[in-house]
Chain A
Amino acid sequence: MRYIALRWFAGVRTICAVLAVTAAAGGSDSAAAATQPHYGGTLVVELHVPTLVLDPTKWKTGAPESAASEQIASAVFERLVTLDRFGRFQPGLATDWSHDEGWRRWQFSLRAGVQFSDGSALTAAEVAAALQELFAERLSEKGVVTAASGTRVILQFSSPMPDLLEQLASGRNFIFRREADGTLLGTGPFFVAEFAPAAGSVATARYKLLPNEKCWAGRPFVDALEVHLGVPALRQLFDLELGKADVVELSADLVRRAQQENLRVWASAPVLLYGLQVSGEAGGAPRGSTGKADLREALSLALDRATMASVLLQRQAEPAASFLPQWLSGYAFVFGAENNVERAKEIGKKLVGGSGAGGAMLQPLKLRVDAGGDLAKLIGERVAINARQAGISVQLQSRAAARENLSSASANSPRAGEAPALRLIAWRYSSLSQRAELDAITASLQLEAENETSTADAEQVYARERRLLTERGLIPLVVMPEYIGLGAGVRDWMAERWGEWHLADVWLDGKKSVAEGAQP
């Protein structure tokens, strides 16, 4: 009893001393600088996509439509590690990590005291379950992501994973808990409080996210995050001008206009690639691998990428000669994108005349535009014009027309099952691992899988990419940044140059909530 009383007395004495000193302080003036963030307000984000998919396992890698879902998901879910813009891996849900010499076995220690937005504690078993879903194809046959001792997670891969941290810090690799009804819970700074689908007089669907007060990294600055979906590009610009939205997507054709109107425009590194896939054996293409290579070379030489970037895309894009962009690979400048129409004509003549090793090319080549939007169609038309200049006839085919074509043709028709010779694709980079991006495009375009490469060594990745371009018929055209328009009151927009937003760090400067004052 005496012991307890003494301890109580000592505790009170400490508190009193602390309070006394705190009260006496102030002899020196000390203050936060003028840049100190403020709490409060509603951040209104407008997106072009009509729907969001907040389940990372359902995202289609490389699909531009998945990018918006990833941006909003990053406000709800967290990663084991993050990468800062100085090249440092920072602890996220994991506080430390290690691996064996062969880079197959990785061990992560989890941060203590992390809670989901419903207040339940994050466990190693839940992290293991999420990783098991995300890395299902990469894990060894034995299985394994295991939860060890409640605070550690061990991943055992069937092949070396030297770039695992890059992968975990990007793309779809968020940690979640799947509920019985299939919905996902996250530990991130926000949680989805409300979803209002587009219906009747309301033209746009709307998500409302509220702060997760239990977030281990602290409460986000804004009181609510409203995400409006299916908002057309021009409408987004108007809403930004009128103060109805704080964060909007800017299409390439509206960037200059926004800048001329003194709106704040943020640009990422080039994250969206437009490219052509040359398919052999189909749609009027010359037969055989040599014919395909010749066609690829002729088209690549015929394409005027510089004009596409500067005129068609109003200098909001860059010509691309490689699949991986310079900021991601570091070596993209080694690839050249020569524009030589005369040389293209020579090769084209061979293909059309049938003197090429691959045999005669049937005319015209069908170009299917897989990417959505007017921009893709414009690029497709420019490709057709450039090809025609080299004597190669290309006919544009929309995705819908291609489907109709296939379904209307009878089974015995020679056109049945005919795939286009060329496909225009749009690819959104989502991983910070070069190898993972190459794996993803190989799988996505159903290119012949290569019996390699388990290392992330730059030279080997470079050699692999060179083969992808020369042997697998991929022709990069242009790469574009993502452009974001920011409201005047938006502060600390600290998005990563590879495009990932940090909505929890954004605060609103002295303005009332947009949603309170205006009807969207």
Chain B
Amino acid sequence: MMAVAAVCIRNLLFSPRMVLANFRYFLCVWMLLSGCVACVAQTPEEAVRGLARRIAEMRELPEKVSLEWVNISSLPEAESIVLRAGFVKELERRVVTAEEPAIAALQVSVRETPTNFLLVARMVMNGGEQVRMAELPRVGFLPVMATGRGLRLAKQLLWQQTETILDTGEFSGTPGSSPNIFLLRPDALAIYREADERFIEIQELPFPGYKYVSRDLRGELHQGKDGAIAVALPGLNCVARGPAEEGGRWTMPCAAGNGVKSNASPVTTSSMTGAKRGSDVDPQQVATLRSNCDANGWRLLSAGSDWTQPDRLLLVNTEAKREESVASLDFAGPLRRLTGGEDGKSALAVVFNLTSGSYEVYRITMVCGR
């Protein structure tokens, strides 16, 4: 509200056109009078502080209140704690808060609607209940790009984004150079390089004039023997070639073509262009791995049923049956893509996180011992 007021006053004072200024002035006054809090784009912190101020402005508010803050929503607890801290800080400018029962109890409950998190503050005073609310758009809490290197068992989160990822690969652009991470999106091929435990975007190669049309996720990356990266999309084939010199630009000519085909019938599980898949291949086998631990060959099998369920990767000896898996990894969503690494010692997995709604890329490796 104050932010609106500030903007309004600034417009009034400095606008060279008085007519427009007057119009804006009246508009602002109307907005302030109508209490159109939802109309104002606020950060979560501002919204929480605003809620604390409105509680502090309640009539006959005692000087000491006990605060009970509960989060009954999908808001991550860490975010809830941050919001609570901001709320308490603002509230304590006017009243003393305490954990133990005080004269008045203030209950703040974090709830959610399809579009917002809702902070509902309730306070019983003089036999009646006062209720104040603040809305925080849920999109304000969506995950941002994560650069986490934290190794969790044998699953390393490399990348996280809300945009669709069709495929991923870890390839060296030119022989001898350090590998890059390639993310295939419906609109572009993005190339990243790991440096100081962070991923830096090297280049984004769009598909000019191309419109991705597919209900399932169809798009593949493969590296040829000359180091070029073949990109196959529905109706489009491209080849991305690395720069001749370090620091140069990638190029990617494209041509209309068959691209990648869909699963044509319920009988066949996949008919991927470029992938070596015979009809006798176990449809559950999605990648092979070699380890430093022994000379055995290993398979990674997906245990998921469809895209509504969290998935699990099973590690199975190439000679063994699925039921004889020796290790497993759980994911927070379905595994959408699995790609064997260049060295055969790791694989990259694209997972759609059902909790956060983001696409995540994991590097899967085998760890010796426990």
Interface residues of A (CB under 8 A from B): 11, 14-15, 17-41, 83-89, 101-103, 113, 160, 162, 166, 189, 216-221, 326-331, 333-334, 432, 434, 454-460, 462, 491-494, 498, 504-505, 507-511
Contacts and interface: CB of A to CB of B under 8 A. Distances in A.
Contact of B39 (A20, A35, A455): A455
Contacts of B113: 327-330, 434
Contacts of A217: 213, 215
Interface string B28-55: 0011001111110000000000000000
B142 A28 contact: no
B216 A36 contact: yes
18 contacts: A14-B255, A18-B238, A24-B226, A24-B230, A26-B222, A27-B223, A28-B339, A30-B275, A31-B270, A31-B272, A32-B337, A37-B263, A102-B30, A218-B214, A219-B215, A327-B114, A333-B111, A510-B266
Contact of A462 (B133, B139, B257, B287): B133
A89 B357 CA distance: 13
Contacts of A462: 131, 133
B102 interface: no
Given A327-B113, A334-B120, 12 more contacts: A18-B255, A22-B237, A29-B276, A30-B272, A32-B336, A34-B286, A37-B307, A86-B356, A88-B142, A88-B162, A102-B30, A330-B113
Contacts of A494: 307-308
B340 A30 contact: yes
A494 B357 CA distance: 13
B132 interface: yes
A330 B167 contact: no
Contacts of B161: none
A508 to B, nearest CB: 6
Given A333-B109, A458-B135, A28 B169 contact: yes
Interface of B: 27, 30-31, 34-39, 109, 111-118, 120, 122, 131-135, 137-139, 142, 162, 167, 169, 211, 213-217, 220-226, 228-230, 232, 237-239, 253-255, 257, 262-270, 272-277, 283-288, 301-308, 311, 334-342, 356-357
Nearest to B354: A85
Contacts of B277: 31
B120 A330 contact: yes
Contacts of A492: 306-308
Contacts of B39: 101, 103, 160, 162, 455
A86 B74 CA distance: 10
A221 B262 CA distance: 10
Nearest to B225: A24
Closest A-B pairs by Cβ, 5 of them: A87-B138, A25-B222, A330-B118, A86-B357, A218-B215
A220 B220 contact: no
Contacts of A11: 255
Contacts of A27: 222-225, 342
A31 B230 contact: no
A33 B338 contact: yes
Nearest to B335: A33
Nearest to A329: B113
B98 to A, nearest CB: 24
A267 to B, nearest CB: 14
Contacts of B229: 21
A211 to B, nearest CB: 10
B221 A491 contact: no
A511 B265 CA distance: 10
A25 B274 contact: yes
Nearest to A457: B38
A88 B357 contact: yes
B257 A15 contact: yes
Contacts of B302: 33-35
A61 B305 CA distance: 37
Contact of B284 (A24, A34, A160, A455): A34
B339 A30 contact: yes
B169 A30 contact: yes
A32 B133 CA distance: 46
B336 A331 contact: no
A189 B232 CA distance: 24
A29 B339 CA distance: 6
Contacts of B35: 455, 457, 460
B122 A334 contact: yes
Contact of B115 (A14, A24, A432): A432
B253 A14 contact: yes
Given A31-B286, A88-B142, A39 B265 contact: yes
Given A21-B224, A85-B357, A334-B131, A29 B306 contact: no
Given A38-B269, A455-B34, A221 B216 contact: yes
Contacts of B112: 87, 327, 330
Given A87-B115, A218-B215, A41 B120 contact: no
A160 B35 CA distance: 13
A431 B223 CA distance: 48
Contacts of A331: 111, 118, 120, 131, 133
A424 B226 CA distance: 74
A66 B253 CA distance: 51
Contacts of B339: 28-31
A278 to B, nearest CB: 24
A334 B177 CA distance: 61
Contacts of B267: 510
Contacts of B38: 162, 455-458
